[in-house]
Structure 1
Amino acid sequence: MVRESFAIGNVRVRAGSERDVELPITRLVTGGDASLPVRVVHGREEGPTVWVSGAIHGDEVIGVEVIRELILTLSAKEFRGTLVAVPVVNVLGFMTGDRYLPDRRDLNRMFPGSPRGSLASRIAHLFMKEVVSKCEVGIDVHTAADKRANLPQIRADLDDPRTRELAKAFAAPVNLHARLRDGSLRQAATDVGAKVLLYEAGEALRFDDESIKTGVVGIRRVLEHLGMIDKHPTDQPPASLESRSSGWVRARGTGILLLETQLGAMVTAGDRLGGLSDTFGRRVRLVRADRTGIVIGLTRAPIVNAGDALVHIASVEE
């Protein structure tokens, strides 16, 4: 029996085929149209429906490359189930390298959106209607905020057994239990029954090989776990560290920051992480770890003011 075609927007994708779809967002002031680009890989055989998305924040470009490399490894003729790949959700912010939309709204605080709301709200509604509502599992790719860097990590509701299982399958260096944020894609998708992993890695407006490779391999492991593709015979997923809490070490003074730690470093409470100096090199204050754990985030800004976030440390479960 031939599998039913997959409906999205005003098109249908035949089983055993791939298709690029443009979902209309809005008419631009120039008279052109802005659309949400989607690649559908509709497998020949039955299986789950999964979405992967990137660039909900327009300056978080790593997800675009992760999804590009991922879909190059997939064949609809050998695929079981359906993958809905949306490399750029915040199309207008992405074009200008801006985290936010032109109206300065954060798209990841506007879900589930409304068909008659603001531009951000309309994009959120379109994404929920055409993508999330059709999927059982989602993987949303993010990077650190501007002038910060993140160790590859999964953020998810680790108290949900199914979500925890998917996080373990991804096998990122760290799985961090993260509460749901009001208005986020993860919360809205969870509310309609989807299981969501948020992959955080790297820096805004930058590619880096480790973050991209970890993302591609991790998503493929999830697809393998769901039975959508065959398992790689030689892949031995590493064990992930698990964290239930994390926090930023903040500057206790103003100065020029010289860090002496790096992403992935294991630290103990009281360890020296770096120091603050004045413009003549005189040491103003040391920076020390306030907890024991693993470094999952860093600032890349050398000039800091008192109270600025410097080093993100996740406490690690035994």
Structure 2
Amino acid sequence: MARESFAIGNVRVRAGAARDVELPITRLVTGGDVSLPVRVVHGREPGPVVWVSGAIHGDEVIGVEVIRELIAALDPKKVRGTLVAVPVVNVLGFMAGDRYLPDRRDLNRSFPGSPRGSLASRIAHLFMAEVVAKCEVGIDVHTAADKRANLPQIRADLDDPRTRDLAEAFGARVMVHARLRDGSLRQAALEVGAKVLLYEAGEANRFDDESIATGVAGIRRVLAFLDMIEPEPADDLPARLESRSTAWVRARSTGILNLETKLGAFVEAGDRLGGLSDTFGRRVRLIHADRDGIVIGLTRAPIVNAGDALVHIASVTQ
């Protein structure tokens, strides 16, 4: 018996096929329509329904390339289950190269949304109704905020056994037990029963090979773990580190920053991470680690003010 077609928007995708779908969002003042672009890969054989999403923040472009490379290598005739791929969730922000929507709202603080609310709320509602409600697992791809960089990492509820299994299957170097944020996609999806991984890597408005390759390989490992695709030949994964506590080392003075550490570096409390100088090069203050751990994020800003976040350190267990 043939597998039932997959309904999304006003279309149905037959089993063993892939189809691009446009979910209407709004109309521009010029009269043009704005839609949410979705690729549905509906496998010939039954299996889980999984979504992958990128660019909830419009300047976080790495997810777009991760998803492009992922779906380019999938054959719907060989997939078991269904993959719903949404490379750009914040379409208007993405077109403008801006983290936020035109009304300056953060889409990832607007879930689960409302069909009659703000633009952000309407997009969130559309995504929940047409994507999340149809899926049991989601992988949401993010990058660091503007002028910051993140080490490839998974953030998830590691206390939930099923979510933890998925996080371990992804195979990122670090997995962080992350608290939920009000209005986030992850919180809203968990409330309706979906298991969610948040993949963080790289910088805003910039591609980098390591972040993209880690993301593509990790998602494919999760799909293989769910028996949706065949597993890759055994690869050498780094020892996975788990973190239950992370914190930023912050500037204690204003100055020009010279960092002496890098993403992925292991540090001990008291280690020198860099220094701040004035415009004549005179040293203002040294920067030291306040804990043992691994550097999972850092600023790229050369000029910092007192209180600015400089280096993000995760305390880890093997």
* Coarse TM-score class (shorter-chain normalised): over 0.9
Partner Cα separation in structure 2 for residue 257 and residue 145 of structure 1: 18
How many angstroms does 1:69 deviate by? 0.4
Matches within 5 A, 1:154-165: 154-165=154-165
Amino acid at match of 1:180: L
Q: Normalising by the residue count of structure 2, what TM-score does the alignment of the two structures yield? A: 0.99
Partner Cα separation in structure 2 for residue 10 and residue 140 of structure 1: 24
Matches within 5 A, 1:231-250: 231-250=231-250
Paired position in structure 2 for 1:201: 201
Paired position in structure 1 for 2:254: 254
Partner Cα separation in structure 1 for residue 238 and residue 292 of structure 2: 22
Structure 1 runs not aligned, ≥5 long: none
Amino acid at match of 2:53: S
Paired position in structure 2 for 1:187: 187
Amino acid at match of 1:11: V
Q: Name which of structure 1's ranges 226-235 and 236-245 shifts more when overlaid on structure 2.
A: 236-245
Paired position in structure 1 for 2:222: 222
Aligned length: 318
Amino acid at match of 2:277: S
| Aligned-CA RMSD value | 0.6
How many angstroms does 1:73 deviate by? 1.1
Partner Cα separation in structure 1 for residue 163 and residue 211 of structure 2: 21
Establish whether residue 296 from structure 1 lines up as the match of residue 296 from structure 2: yes
Please state whether the residue corresponding to 2:180 is helix, strand or coil.
coil
Please state whether the residue corresponding to 2:317 is helix, strand or coil.
coil
Amino acid at match of 1:135: C
Partner Cα separation in structure 2 for residue 34 and residue 295 of structure 1: 39
Paired position in structure 1 for 2:36: 36
Paired position in structure 1 for 2:60: 60
Paired position in structure 2 for 1:90: 90
Please state whether the residue corresponding to 1:316 is helix, strand or coil.
strand
Paired position in structure 2 for 1:138: 138
How many angstroms does 1:237 deviate by? 3.3
How many angstroms does 1:27 deviate by? 1.0
- Deviations along 1:158-185, one digit per CA (max 9) or x if unpaired, are 0101000000000101000001111000
Establish whether residue 110 from structure 1 lines up as the match of residue 110 from structure 2: yes
Structure 1 stretches (4+) deviating beyond 4 angstroms? none
Partner Cα separation in structure 1 for residue 48 and residue 202 of structure 2: 29
Q: Normalising by the residue count of structure 1, what TM-score does the alignment of the two structures yield? A: 0.99
How many angstroms does 1:239 deviate by? 2.8
How many angstroms does 1:235 deviate by? 2.5
Partner Cα separation in structure 2 for residue 196 and residue 239 of structure 1: 22
Paired position in structure 1 for 2:13: 13
